[in-house]
Amino acid sequence: MKSAYEIAMERLTQAGGGTKKLSEEQRARIADIEKRYEARIAETRVSHESQAAAAVPEERAEILARMTEEIRNLEEKRDREKDAVWAEA
């Protein structure tokens, strides 16, 4: 008797889905994307947190909100780049 997982995987494969496999080059590209964006996010966080520490309380919330927005934008760009690599698989 097949498990629910095996049945689900068969149906997925029959529907044209299945799992995609990345080549070594594609894995390296994804790792590079992760590394680049991790560094950019860290730079953004350090920069904004140092600005917030030196700011008056009224400006602090605005600076931290900008930081959150910039980090979200960087994460979206990172995910789009990674999705493009996955689309090639």
At 49-68, the pLDDT tens digits run 999 999 998 899 999 999 99
Predicted pLDDT at 16: 61
- Domain assignment of residue 67, yes or no: yes
Q: What percent of the chain has pLDDT over 70?
A: 94
| pLDDT higher than 60, residue 18 | no
- Collapsing DSSP to helix, strand or coil, 12 comes out as helix
- Domain assignment of residue 8, yes or no: no
Range of the domain at 27: 22-88
Predicted pLDDT at 17: 58
Give the H or E element holding residue 16: none
In the chain, the number of structural domains is 1
CA 41, chain centre distance (Å): 11
Full-model pTM? 0.77
